[in-house]
Amino acid sequence: MSYLHLPSINLADFSKGTISLWFRFSNDSVGKAREYAANYQPPDFGDSATGPDIFKATIPLLTFGRKVMAHTYGFVSHAWPFPTGGIGTYTAESVIKADSPCEPSHLGLTVPTGHDDQTTVALRMVFQSETRARVQGLLTEASDIHWKQDPPDSGLYQQYTVIKDISYVKTAMPETFEINPKFEVSADKWHHLLVSFDFSTPVDVVAIKGSQSDNVERDTINSTCKLWYAFDDENKNGKDNMGDSWGFHGPNDVIPITAIEAAISYTSPPISNDSSGGPTVTGELYDTEYHWAASPIPMSGGPVGLPASADYVSTIYHVEMGELQFFAGLVIDTGDQQKRRAFVDANGKPVKPADTEKALGRRPDILLHGTSNWKQGKNTGTTGLTRNEAGEDVVIDAGQFQHTGLIKKYTPDPALSETETA
Amino acid sequence: MALEDDLGLDYLTKLVNVQWESGLAVEFFDNDGPPEEPVTA
């Protein structure tokens, strides 16, 4: 198995960025990723508590950033004495059982597993932050259940359930953006992905009870972030092309995944009734709110891997790649054909990085250009090669990728089919 | 200037002192892929 691994990149955390990558894959790799998913066992922390799935049905292409940890919650059983004798139990008090890693920020492909709605190979783009949202009104539990005679000394018992807001369970993972479009990505041909994002806006969602609006979800979302991407030189946006993180507003508006849950929970969570006339409920019942303080992607000092860094080698599959350009801090609108032409020319072929640099006015922070550099892991972006005052180029050793296994020259060079050029 | 315009970072990468191989793309393998080619002196 082979991969490139940069252990610790000297690149500041960023909220905005642009990535350009050429790739292709085979149906053989899809079959192996499906087989891996079928046999996947998430980490087990007891009490039915499991950690996040990592690359369960994914063919990774690029991973980046420091490791981010998620809480895994378990539940504790409590005794519930009945007034007529006997003891029942209920579960309450969510407690952190363990911390385990989240999926890294990555570009990849998700494959159909037969257990979900996904029927074709599709893009998957994940951008993982380190910051949890502040939420309320998303989840409650019974923190206490007791019986009380009502009226007093009547021998008639009412059940009292004290409700506690445990919405924090929904933020076990620091917030993440997940872009999982519906369109199919075909095997055995070159593809180009150009993605740009701006996650610098704090996201707030506040429930609107009793709204008569025909789009309550949109109305509850007070602010969004932005993402643009083009696939095979075709600009993509809107609900179907953004997937789980689409922000219900404009075509390029995105919000973290828990914000989506808050937006569709615009009424308070229901309290279950019992069969004897319903509980008397006291405690914390809040209207849904969600607040995420925009935090950058944790990049500085983290690894970068192609197709994945050393922690994820068990999910590396046979893929072909070329011409990676990674810009931190740069935002482009992929709907602007002139911007796309900085990466894909009118004939559907890669633009020389020197010409991209001229078009955008800056060098990429990570650049893997040309077969030789890919094979050797030579990064000629700003983190791998600097130009000194004398105009000489100086290699930055710490910015080079370590190469493991056979990385082989592939032909033909990247190109979109001739009919797909604009 | 003309040389830089022509060669750009293609030229710069040659300065990194690697054995040059033309082309733009590579392939990565999983565990079923071929073994790493022996390095010859």
Evaluate the omega torsion of the peptide bond into residue B35 and state whether it is cis, within 30 degrees of 0.
no
Report yes or no: A76 and A97 within 8 Å, Cβ to Cβ.
no
The partner residue sitting opposite A318, judged by closest CB among B8, B16, B33, is B33
Q: Which residues of B touch A370 (CB under 8 A)?
A: 10, 13, 21-24
pTM, full prediction: 0.89
- State the smallest CA–CA distance between residue B39 and chain A in angstroms: 11
CB half-sphere exposure, B9, CA atoms < 13 A: 31
In chain A, the N- to C-terminal Cα span, in Å, equals 37
CA distances (Å), A169 to each of A49, A96, A137, A405, in order?
12, 9, 11, 41
What interface predicted TM-score (ipTM) does this complex get?
Answer: 0.87
> What is the C-alpha to C-alpha distance for residues A143 and A300, in angstroms, rounded to an integer?
41
| Structure confidence at residue A116 (pLDDT) | 66
Q: What is the pLDDT along chain A (422 residues), one digit of tens a residue?
A: 999 999 999 999 999 999 999 999 999 999 999 999 999 888 777 766 777 788 989 999 999 999 999 998 877 777 777 767 777 776 666 778 888 899 999 999 999 887 666 779 999 999 999 999 999 988 888 777 777 887 888 888 887 788 888 899 899 999 999 999 989 999 999 999 999 999 999 999 998 877 777 888 888 899 999 999 999 999 999 999 998 888 889 999 999 999 998 888 765 545 554 444 556 777 788 888 999 999 999 999 999 999 999 999 999 999 999 999 999 999 999 999 999 999 999 999 999 999 999 999 999 999 999 999 999 999 999 999 998 888 888 999 999 999 999 999 999 999 997 444 43
Q: How far is CA A218 from the centre of its chain?
A: 21
DSSP A75-88: EEEEEEE-TTS-EE
- State the smallest CA–CA distance between residue B7 and chain A in angstroms: 8
Mean pLDDT of chain B: 64
Instruction: Pick the residue from chain A with its C-alpha nearest to B4.
Output: A354
> What is the C-alpha to C-alpha distance for residues A279 and A287, in angstroms, rounded to an integer?
20
Q: Which residues of A touch B22 (CB under 8 A)?
A: 370-372
Is B18 in CB contact (< 8 Å) with chain A?
A: yes
Is B36 in CB contact (< 8 Å) with chain A?
A: yes
In chain B, the N- to C-terminal Cα span, in Å, equals 37
C-alpha angle B21-A195-A399 in degrees, rounded to nearest 5? 45
| Structure confidence at residue B2 (pLDDT) | 36
- Helix, strand or coil, per DSSP, at residue A163: strand
Report yes or no: A280 and A159 within 8 Å, Cβ to Cβ.
yes
| Structure confidence at residue A43 (pLDDT) | 77
| Structure confidence at residue A91 (pLDDT) | 66
Q: Which residues of B touch A29 (CB under 8 A)?
A: 30
Q: Provide the pairing of β-strand A157-165 with A234-236.
A: unpaired
Instruction: Pick the residue from chain B with its C-alpha nearest to A373.
Output: B13
- State the smallest CA–CA distance between residue B41 and chain A in angstroms: 16
Report yes or no: A317 and A29 within 8 Å, Cβ to Cβ.
yes
| Structure confidence at residue A141 (pLDDT) | 81
| Structure confidence at residue A420 (pLDDT) | 42
| Structure confidence at residue A267 (pLDDT) | 58
Instruction: Pick the residue from chain A with its C-alpha nearest to B23.
Output: A371
Is B27 in CB contact (< 8 Å) with chain A?
A: yes
What is the sign, positive or negative, of the torsion defined by CA atoms of A374, A380, A382, A384? positive
